[in-house]
Structure 1
């Protein structure tokens, strides 16, 4: 990469998408939106003008940067269609893959919704895979940068649902047929109708690419709902039990090392447990203390037994909770036990919401 090509990539980064203005300023600081949008557009005109001048002057687009990204792979992350159109005008192939990435996958990963739509209009295949086998929708779903893109891709993929690969000969995970049948029923007790409908929409999106989905991918897709819709995530336990191809298994582990983990069946942890995001469809037994920090979700379909529990995040226990000492902190989330909460001592701080079908607590302290 020459010095001029390096300067070109710096200019790419100056081209703005107006996303922050449209998503936040227009909503919360509407009085300043028009002025700030006009300013950004003027700045874009300057940056695009300089890029055009360099390309017209002979700067080649045939290079990769120090991270092995082509100019197009760099440009798609700016979520600006004008920039892509300019590169195309000077000979760039907007669809060409490079190594393990494609412009469409990278745009999806970075949440560049305008560019995703534009590239598909230019002929990019929304069902295409990277050389490593990742789908465009998969790239969007697994990225913390991508919020609008999954819904956009589902919208674009639904008309071509018949183009999915055939179902596997050996079923594994959740089948579309069983999931659809289960979700056609009424919402289970404790699940709001709005959450039940949202779960239906999520699962419609899941099956635009495949006939089956693993429970890991399923939990990954719904876990982000745990803060605002914990009842929706808990409903996933019933869905797994009704629709999974594999039988439940009893499992014993020394620790849960994954930040997001789901197990179908009973799970026993031989030491302390610090939860990132955990779903167990059966019983959960912890041979030590358990804790879920603020925002970390814990969902257990059956009984949950541990020595102590310190809960700061959303927790729903379908059966009983039994511990020597339970502490519930912060009022952003709730600890919900649908069976009996048994503890020698229950400490509730900051007006944290704690509910149970029945309390068997020797001492309760509210502070």
Structure 2
């Protein structure tokens, strides 16, 4: 199939540091190319891919110090896509909803994966207006607050099996927190849990400008107060393998409806069990007692740490390989592509890999 993948321009594909959406776009793009499809990636010019790259900005917009307003670059990208739309069997968007008015004439050959939270009230009138656009959710829980829309399926994220190696015997003896310093991610709870169970905690996370006050007023004082807590800062993919692989467990104490939680399956790939709060997608991702433990409170987390650390890391890795590989993710998306009314491909139906929740029909 001739497939266009349209990525956000804030980060390159794949991102150098934090950037879950761009990382998934990269994994999907590379797996589709590996399977023999003709893939074109619309992304920032510093992206690295084996697909055909259409540069829509010189570098990732977050790193471009001279750019004050990203919107003009996004509009230019949409115009490039509109002009070339007939070149592709399928156009797969990962940029929220900015493209909706542009794709009306060829919407039946498009898929839009929604990577963010959907419980914000301002989104409902927008999605009601564009209820015919084929959408993909990244968890079933993500769909809960939405009005009736054109769901084409739910596709869980996936990683290449070799991107994060399995570590059967971690050497660190610490708990890990990986992601962003923000109120909804609750690094304060991770610090509290580690302190109360008497284990070291390493925090590898970036601090966005919007969260500087939270960092300065809440988290930084806690880090300075607890000797068992080490703040590492933002890490790259190479550092992530060692950071997660040598951790005894990952703490994921979220306090918001997390649409997926990529770090959970990254930890699982390393064999590292996950202690997560039962919010958002967590019950769908964590197999309780196999790849981790889902809890509802700090007290329950503390009670279950001992059990968590006894989980078989080989079974954690096996859960990842069974459900969250890039091959499975690409297979689910290909099945959705072929189910779109306007797809011109004459290929035989594909077998779906196990582990996905794809729907082949657009449902209202």
Normalising by structure 2, what TM-score?
0.24
Work out which of the two has the higher radius of gyration on C-alpha atoms and give 1 or 2. 1
Larger RCO (CA under 8 A, 6+ residues apart): 2
Normalising by structure 1, what TM-score?
0.24
